[in-house]
Structure 1
Amino acid sequence: MSDVRKGEVVEERYDVAVVGLGGLGSAACRSLAAAGLKVLGLERYGPVHDLGASHGESRGVWQAYFMGPEYVPYLRRAYTLWSELEQVSGETLFHRTGGLCIGPADGTLVPAARSSAQQCGLEHEYLTADEVHSRYPQFEPTADCAAVYDPGSGFVQPEQTVRVQLELARKNSAELRFNEEVREITETRDGSRVRTDHAVYDVGHVVVTAGCWAPGLLPALDLPVQVLRKVMLWFNPEGGAEDFQPGRFPYWIWEGDGMVGYGHPAANGLHGGVKAGVHSGGTPADPDRVDRFVRPEEIAEIQDFLRTRIPRLSGAGRYRKSAVCLYDNTPDQAFAIGPVSDRGRVVVAAGTSGHAFKFVPAIGESLTELVTDGTTSQDLSLFDPQRFASN
């Protein structure tokens, strides 16, 4: 190995190295190891950390998707794989609560969600503002609002999902190394090489699932990802949390006042708080220097959005706690999944744009197919990471 530098340790060869062990990386490790490959997982931080995007107690899962009907087949596959993951792990991961996409009837989100549901033959209901309030009196939509109700939607808990997938990967003999930072990835004549701050690894393939750090690891791809700092809040509802438990309160996403807000039922019971945030907007950030302090004006922005829409969450003293997470957004908000060059030795799943967690097990399966077969059973042309090259 002619380019090994003085003092570097060269490790034995692996079939595939997975770089980044959050939601997507843990899914890839689990799927690749289950396929019988010799897998090395590398993570710059500890297991199930809260410094990227795979944390925050809950993530929405939704099929009547406002991003477009082309996402629905992939979501259907994800639903199947969430069920399989539950069966293999013996743990409940997906909590079906029903979900509402709310906003102006002539806006962007509601017509798009309705179109996806209709084109793909999904079970759904189209509700007026009065019907929304009648079914869920916690909501106060204005008369110009409508909603698409998706009875199959709900939430998963990211920390639990990552833990379960890592445990299953280990059971299938994946080797997982934490607190080891990848510095360089290269394609070689007969495989790939990964250089970390600890060692050099010769591998057949590399799967890069490093979120906001992925573009820095793949400079030749020149992936135009913008890192955005986002704030998540939890509230103690006025009158108690009983009406905000799963089964009595849905997953929701709401377009209004030039913003898109979202929220979930109380994922951790009566004393865990009710989550809400703003999906749109965000502050550009360096993932290595993120400001984790949540300011009063950031809290006030979300409270202002909730005040007329879900008033029981927005009153004085309702705010409970906060957290910061990161979005890695592509210019078109679609993911980047696929090989980074014609050699196909390095594949990436990045540019998740704040909406990929619902797809996690399906993306893990696709990454395994790209490594083992060079193609995927799902049509992922929308997500080709090389689509930005001409720009």
Structure 2
Amino acid sequence: MTRVVVIGLGGMGSAAAAHLARRGADVIGVEQFTPAHDRGSSHGDSRVIRQAYFEHPSYVPLLRSAYDLWADLERDDPGIFRLTGGLMLGHPDAEVVAGSMASAREHDLPHEVLDAGEIRNRFPNFAPRDDEVGLYEASSGYVRPERTVREHVRRAVAAGADLRFEEVALSWEADTSGVRVYTAGGAIEAERLVIAPGAWAPRLLADLGVPMVVTRQLVCWFRPSGDLASYQVGRQPIFIGERPPLHPYGFPVLEGQDAKDGLKVGLHHHGEVIDPDTLDHRVSADEVAVMAEAINELVPTMAGRFVRGLACLYTTTPDQHFVVGTHPGHDNVVVACGFSGHGFKFVPVLGEILADLALDGSTAHPIGLFDPARFGRASR
């Protein structure tokens, strides 16, 4: 039985632990916080999921695999994954529109292209400019991050994993004899190591040679000022807009919730660089005002009365693509980081990929775009 240590039990690490344990590995997981905590990047009640992927067409095959695995999670936890339809909205040349269209066409994904008048007629909450269009994808929707982490933790423990919460991984080392992870409780030795540290990647993976920036990102919940029923699934899709320099996004009413309790919205990649240990969830009046103005320019009645806000962390690479693969300096170490902003929808398939790499040294999934060595040479 191969012993594998997993550092970080957020979205990616908990999925890796579950897949590894179910495949018979002796798994030890180390997490500095409690399960499904709110100090990183795997919280906030909902995440967008979509297939017409504006970031790059290479993500689409992974998304198809991820959807199958989300359906498996849904069988054990109904409501963890919901399709609502999704609208990508902006000028025809905007990345969110043109990129989504490129992925949809390359991979023959069902979609519709709507002009401004068609958007207004079909989704009256939106106020597109006359020169804007929308790509509508029926297979877009949302997933529930905290529930996803808890389900993967449950699966990992049920399969025999030893998951150690509130235990900080201080450092690690690897050589041809194996790996060692040092925590306040001592050294943990194993044959393989998976490092999925979220915003702590610049610290724990400083030798990787990947420049990463950690930023504080704000999300808010507002009670709409208009017809609350119009924000229900079936009438209101998830959406991502592009009005430079801002990228507003938002959700309909989630299953089991009520519009009067607030709808979640955010501004993609709109935040300041911080140390992850200093994350502050407090939201200022100025931050709320900026958020409300940006959202209401696109969906005029959505950001009515402010209900609550919180912060999360983005960990971003220069090309905004993930870092997934075997550590260039250590054949027995697998790394997973740089996901923030668009990674959570891939959680179950990345768990499978990390298990493949840790146990088999390779994976059949296409991950060439995420090569850890693409930014330079890692140190041994």
* Equivalent residue, structure 1, for 2:166: 179
* Equivalent residue, structure 1, for 2:303: 314
* Equivalent residue, structure 2, for 1:57: 45
Q: Structure 1 segments of 4 or more deviating over 4 A?
A: none
| 1:173-252 equivalence runs, <5 A | 173-252=160-239
**Distance between the aligned counterparts of 1:365 and 1:141, measured in 2?**
40
| 1:56-205 equivalence runs, <5 A | 56-87=44-75, 89-205=76-192
What is the TM-score when the length of structure 1 is the normalising length? 0.93
Q: Which amino acid aligns with 1:31?
A: H
* Equivalent residue, structure 1, for 2:15: 27
Query: Post-superposition shift, 1:63?
Result: 0.2
Corresponding pairs, count: 376
What is the TM-score when the length of structure 2 is the normalising length? 0.96
Indicate if the aligned counterparts of 1:215 and 1:222 stay in contact, CA closer than 8 A.
Answer: no
Paired-residue identity, %: 41
* Equivalent residue, structure 2, for 1:4: none
**Distance between the aligned counterparts of 1:327 and 1:90, measured in 2?**
27
Indicate if the aligned counterparts of 1:241 and 1:266 stay in contact, CA closer than 8 A.
Answer: no
Once the two structures are overlaid, the 10-residue window that deviates more, 226-235 or 108-117, is 108-117
Once the two structures are overlaid, the 10-residue window that deviates more, 183-192 or 325-334, is 183-192
**Distance between the aligned counterparts of 1:243 and 1:166, measured in 2?**
36
Query: Post-superposition shift, 1:161?
Result: 0.6
* Equivalent residue, structure 1, for 2:29: 41
Per-residue displacement from partner, 1:67-122 (whole Å, max 9, x unpaired)?
A: 121111111111111112223x2433211000010001222221111111011100
**Distance between the aligned counterparts of 1:188 and 1:269, measured in 2?**
50
5+ long unaligned stretches in structure 1: 1-12
Query: Post-superposition shift, 1:190?
Result: 1.9
* Equivalent residue, structure 2, for 1:305: 294
**Distance between the aligned counterparts of 1:187 and 1:40, measured in 2?**
16
Please state whether the residue corresponding to 1:283 is helix, strand or coil.
coil
Query: Post-superposition shift, 1:300?
Result: 1.1
Q: Which amino acid aligns with 1:231?
A: L
**Distance between the aligned counterparts of 2:296 and 2:74, measured in 1?**
37
Query: Post-superposition shift, 1:307?
Result: 2.2
Give 1:281's match in structure 2, choosing from 270, 277, 286: 270
**Distance between the aligned counterparts of 1:90 and 1:212, measured in 2?**
28
Query: Post-superposition shift, 1:373?
Result: 1.1
Instruction: Identify if the C-alpha distance between structure 1 residues 390 and 372 changes in structure 2 by more than 3 Å, giving closer, same or farther.
Output: closer
Once the two structures are overlaid, the 10-residue window that deviates more, 364-373 or 292-301, is 292-301
**Distance between the aligned counterparts of 2:14 and 2:232, measured in 1?**
29
Please state whether the residue corresponding to 1:114 is helix, strand or coil.
helix
Q: Which amino acid aligns with 2:190?
A: V
* Equivalent residue, structure 2, for 1:9: none
Once the two structures are overlaid, the 10-residue window that deviates more, 361-370 or 300-309, is 300-309
Query: Post-superposition shift, 1:14?
Result: 6.7
Query: Post-superposition shift, 1:230?
Result: 0.4
* Equivalent residue, structure 2, for 1:8: none
Per-residue displacement from partner, 1:298-353 (whole Å, max 9, x unpaired)?
A: 111111112221111234xx111000000000000000001113532111110013
**Distance between the aligned counterparts of 1:180 and 1:332, measured in 2?**
32
Once the two structures are overlaid, the 10-residue window that deviates more, 258-267 or 120-129, is 258-267
Query: Post-superposition shift, 1:240?
Result: 4.9
Give 1:339's match in structure 2, choosing from 322, 326, 329: 326
The question of 1:368 aligning with 2:346 is answered no
| 1:319-334 equivalence runs, <5 A | 319-334=306-321
The question of 1:17 aligning with 2:23 is answered no
**Distance between the aligned counterparts of 1:326 and 1:28, measured in 2?**
20
Indicate if the aligned counterparts of 2:334 and 2:354 stay in contact, CA closer than 8 A.
Answer: yes
Query: Post-superposition shift, 1:255?
Result: 0.2
5+ long unaligned stretches in structure 2: none
**Distance between the aligned counterparts of 2:25 and 2:140, measured in 1?**
33
* Equivalent residue, structure 2, for 1:291: 280
Please state whether the residue corresponding to 1:338 is helix, strand or coil.
strand
CA RMSD in angstroms, aligned pairs only: 1.5
Indicate if the aligned counterparts of 2:18 and 2:155 stay in contact, CA closer than 8 A.
Answer: yes
Indicate if the aligned counterparts of 1:230 and 1:327 stay in contact, CA closer than 8 A.
Answer: yes
The question of 1:255 aligning with 2:246 is answered no
